[in-house]
């Protein structure tokens, strides 16, 4: 009986399938390709914020995205270095650091023999800014491959436009790609800038935007709480001791924007970037870009990438469980609603596709965790450096020993060249110096030092520092001998042989090192743990089938999916999956 009953079902299913194919084919004749793709990246935003703060959201911001869009509730970064550069590099390229070379914030450049930010380019200058720090000379040259902005421009010989906007250089650059245009905020200029890589001068519309001096209009103004006081019980106390007095803003509300000089200064402009006013400013620039560059006007689709930076600056300063981050996210909902309303007024239904995601999550203030009885902490580079120096000196002797003499060469002073999360860079010049010296004493120094042993000893030594969970050497990664655990593949994805350290260190949860490990306040991100990897991924608008999707997806899936929406080639190095289940065709 069961078999008989199944026959009509199969026939019905076949008919349904057949009719589905017809409608599928019919829809393909008029592809729902947008005129404009808007990619919004919230810098430092966990997926869980969407539920934690949902009671403060209206219907037109995050809720509109979640209700009318395709929301992935389990979207993760699967690389280890959850930082701004690697995150933004991945979003529109679909590639990991092991392909695109953007492995962290900073690296040791053996060619220039100095530590450099990942996007530093000695040949790039900021037009119009004289006193810029060297690190601000930024371009996408160190990014290997291309991204979706590049592919879109290549697809029609530059009839499309691609623009990246952020307060941070690396965010704007990685949204614009190599062929688009990037604009970001510079605290010396007090306005938006670009790199000589993209143009020798700002276009008139950016100059006009700067001439409005919008940041200055906030001088003397205060960032106050937008929610009733009782609502902030969702966060820890406002004045938690390890919150930062960021550029004179103070640790608790109200945060007054001013400067002791009585007028706007680079410090004031930096403080401005930590307030919700900076998000209004960013979105105002996005509107100006749409109008001035006539984005979405013709039949060639354009990309506008907007990275919301203020959430990250405030998150670092006050921690993710602060009144400030709660207030900023509650306000961000309204700010996004306003931006969506603007897009509604300017474009017809079906002309715009919106993607919203984040470049990483956030690690709680370690001191807040310890007050709750949860193990957490800041690891100082000196602790790591001392442990590794001692272990290598115990085994091989001092690095500066030349024969029976001690060299004064400062380049031979230490075994460790650089500690840059997650990498330990070994001073191979010291190793070579010992190796090449036939008179070195004691006798074991005359034998060749095995680099693999040096790295293993360095890694083992780091384990003696509280908060370090494990280590991975480049030998393990390059020889395919990584341990079979949840984390090893994440570190492999963040390893690029010519740029990464000799040893990569993995902290325990709630521990971190690097620049925020060196400080005694503020918090960061950059780990392979849930609080740093789990971020929103929502697509809405033209070409998108709405729904809530709970399957695990990877941030590398965004680029090939949006390539599908735009009907163009996916970026060259992409490793993601086209999320075909959300494509309305
Ligand atoms: Zn970031």
pLDDT for the residue numbered 128: 86
Residue 55 has pLDDT above 50, yes or no: yes
Residue 2 has pLDDT above 60, yes or no: no
Arithmetic mean of pLDDT, 1-28: 41
Query: Could you give the CA distance from residue 394 to residue 411 in angstroms, rounded to a whole number?
Result: 20
Q: How many CB atoms lie within 10 A of CB 189?
A: 18
Residue 343 has pLDDT above 90, yes or no: yes
Query: Could you give the CA distance from residue 265 to residue 276 in angstroms, rounded to a whole number?
Result: 19
pLDDT for the residue numbered 134: 79
How much of the chain, in percent, has pLDDT values that exceed 90? Answer: 85
Nearest to 105, CA basis, from 442, 499, 560: 499
The rounded Å distance from CA 84 to ligand 1 centre is: 3
The rounded Å distance from CA 524 to ligand 1 centre is: 9
pLDDT for the residue numbered 247: 92
Arithmetic mean of pLDDT, 444-463: 85
The rounded Å distance from CA 287 to ligand 1 centre is: 23
What is the model's pTM?
0.93
pLDDT for the residue numbered 463: 98
Q: pLDDT tens digits for 482-522?
A: 999 999 999 999 999 999 999 999 999 999 999 999 999 99
First to last CA, the chain: 39
pLDDT for the residue numbered 26: 44
Instruction: Tokens 């971190």: give the residue.
Output: 512
**Would residue 467 be called left, alpha or beta, if left means φ above 0 and alpha means ψ between -120 and 50 degrees?**
left
The rounded Å distance from CA 145 to ligand 1 centre is: 21
The rounded Å distance from CA 462 to ligand 1 centre is: 27
- Listed range (25-29, 225-229, 396-400, 491-495) with the worst mean pLDDT: 25-29
The rounded Å distance from CA 584 to ligand 1 centre is: 31
The rounded Å distance from CA 20 to ligand 1 centre is: 43
pLDDT for the residue numbered 278: 98
pLDDT for the residue numbered 435: 73
The rounded Å distance from CA 358 to ligand 1 centre is: 8
The rounded Å distance from CA 313 to ligand 1 centre is: 9
Residue 355 has pLDDT above 90, yes or no: yes
pLDDT for the residue numbered 411: 85
| Residues recorded for the chain | 585
Is there a contact between 195 and 321 (Cβ–Cβ < 8 Å)? no
Identify which has the larger pLDDT, 405 or 358: 358
Helices 451-462 and 381-396 cross at an angle (nearest 10°) of 140
With cut-offs at 50, 70 and 90, classify the pLDDT of residue 442: low
Residue 339 has pLDDT above 50, yes or no: yes
Q: How many CB atoms lie within 10 A of CB 8?
A: 9
Residue 351: strand, helix, or coil: coil
Arithmetic mean of pLDDT, 404-429: 90
Residue 1 has pLDDT above 60, yes or no: no
How much of the chain, in percent, has pLDDT values that exceed 70? Answer: 92
DSSP codes joined into one string, 166-192: -SSHHHHHHHHTTTSEEEEEETTTTEE
The rounded Å distance from CA 165 to ligand 1 centre is: 14
Q: pLDDT tens digits for 546-581?
A: 999 999 999 999 999 999 999 999 999 999 999 999
Instruction: Tokens 């008179």: give the residue.
Output: 439
With cut-offs at 50, 70 and 90, classify the pLDDT of residue 434: confident
- Listed range (28-32, 117-121, 269-273) with the worst mean pLDDT: 28-32
With cut-offs at 50, 70 and 90, classify the pLDDT of residue 104: very high
The rounded Å distance from CA 73 to ligand 1 centre is: 20
pLDDT for the residue numbered 23: 45
- Write b or e for each residue in 427-437: b if 16 or more Cβ atoms lie within 10 A of its Cβ, otherwise e: bbebbebbbee
Nearest to 351, CA basis, from 288, 282, 300: 300
Q: How many CB atoms lie within 10 A of CB 549?
A: 18
pLDDT for the residue numbered 430: 85
With cut-offs at 50, 70 and 90, classify the pLDDT of residue 120: very high
Nearest to 502, CA basis, from 380, 415, 435, 400: 415
Residue 369 has pLDDT above 90, yes or no: yes
Average pLDDT in the chain: 92
Residue 277: strand, helix, or coil: helix
The rounded Å distance from CA 408 to ligand 1 centre is: 41
DSSP state of 263: S
Residue 35 has pLDDT above 50, yes or no: yes
Residue 363 has pLDDT above 90, yes or no: yes
Query: Could you give the CA distance from residue 491 to residue 408 in angstroms, rounded to a whole number?
Result: 37
pLDDT for the residue numbered 4: 40
The rounded Å distance from CA 370 to ligand 1 centre is: 25
Q: pLDDT tens digits for 276-304?
A: 999 999 999 999 999 999 999 999 999 99
Residue 22 has pLDDT above 70, yes or no: no
């Amino acid at each position: 009986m069961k078999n008989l009953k199944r026959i009509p079902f199969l026939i019905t299913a076949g008919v349904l399938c057949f009719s589905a194919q017809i409608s599928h084919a019919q829809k393909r004749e008029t592809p729902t390709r947008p005129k404009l793709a808007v990619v919004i990246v919230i810098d430092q935003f966990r997926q869980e914020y969407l539920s934690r703060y949902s009671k403060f959201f209206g219907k037109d911001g995050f809720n509109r995205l979640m209700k009318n869009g395709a929301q992935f509730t389990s979207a993760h970064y699967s690389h280890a270095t959850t930082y701004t550069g690697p995150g933004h590099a991945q979003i529109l390229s679909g590639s990991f650091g092991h392909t695109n070379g953007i492995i962290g914030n900073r690296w040791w450049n053996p060619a220039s023999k100095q530590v450099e930010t990942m996007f530093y380019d000695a040949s790039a200058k900021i037009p119009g800014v004289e006193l810029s720090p060297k690190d601000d000379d930024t371009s996408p040259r160190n990014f290997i491959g291309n991204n979706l902005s590049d592919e879109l421009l290549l697809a029609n010989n530059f009839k499309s436009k691609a623009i990246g906007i952020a307060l941070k250089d690396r965010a704007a650059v990685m949204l614009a790609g190599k062929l688009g245009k990037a604009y970001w905020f510079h605290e010396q200029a007090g306005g938006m800038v670009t790199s000589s890589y993209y143009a020798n001068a700002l276009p008139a519309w950016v100059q006009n935007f700067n001439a409005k001096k919008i940041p200055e209009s906030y001088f003397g103004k205060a960032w106050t709480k937008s929610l009733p006081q009782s609502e902030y019980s969702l966060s820890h106390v406002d004045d938690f001791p390890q919150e930062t007095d960021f550029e004179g803003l103070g640790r608790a509300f109200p945060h007054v924007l001013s400067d002791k000089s009585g007028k706007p200064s680079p410090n004031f402009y930096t403080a401005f970037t930590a307030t919700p006013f900076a998000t209004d400013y960013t979105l105002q620039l996005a509107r100006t870009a749409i109008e001035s560059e006539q984005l979405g006007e013709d039949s060639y689709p354009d990309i506008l990438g907007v990275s919301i930076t203020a959430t990250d600056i405030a998150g670092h300063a006050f921690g993710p469980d602060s009144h400030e981050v709660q207030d900023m996210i509650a306000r961000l909902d309204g700010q996004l609603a306003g931006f969506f309303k603007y897009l509604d007024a300017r474009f017809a239904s079906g002309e715009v596709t919106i993607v919203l995601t984040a470049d990483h999550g956030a690690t709680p203030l370690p001191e807040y965790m310890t007050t709750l009885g949860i193990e957490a902490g800041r690891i100082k580079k000196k602790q790591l450096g001392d442990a590794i120096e001692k272990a290598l000196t115990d085994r091989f002797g001092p690095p500066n020993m030349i024969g029976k003499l001690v060299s004064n060469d400062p380049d031979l002073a230490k075994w460790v060249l650089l500690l840059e999360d997650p990498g330990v860079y070994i001073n191979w010049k010291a190793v070579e110096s010992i190796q090449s010296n036939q008179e070195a004493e004691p006798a074991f120094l005359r034998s060749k030092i095995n680099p693999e042993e040096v790295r293993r000893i360095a890694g083992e030594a780091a384990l003696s520092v509280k908060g370090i969970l494990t280590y991975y050497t480049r030998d393990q990664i390059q020889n395919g001998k990584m341990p079979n655990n949840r984390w090893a593949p994440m570190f492999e994805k963040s390893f690029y042989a010519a740029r990464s350290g000799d040893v990569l260190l993995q902290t325990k949860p709630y521990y971190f090192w690097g620049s925020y490990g060196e400080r005694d306040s503020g918090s960061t991100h950059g780990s392979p743990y849930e609080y740093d990897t789990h971020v929103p991924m929502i697509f809405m608008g033209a070409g998108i089938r709405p729904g809530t999707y709970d399957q695990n997806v990877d941030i590398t899936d965004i680029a090939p999916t949006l390539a599908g929406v735009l009907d163009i080639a996916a970026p060259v190095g992409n490793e993601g999956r086209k999320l075909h289940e959300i494509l309305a065709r």
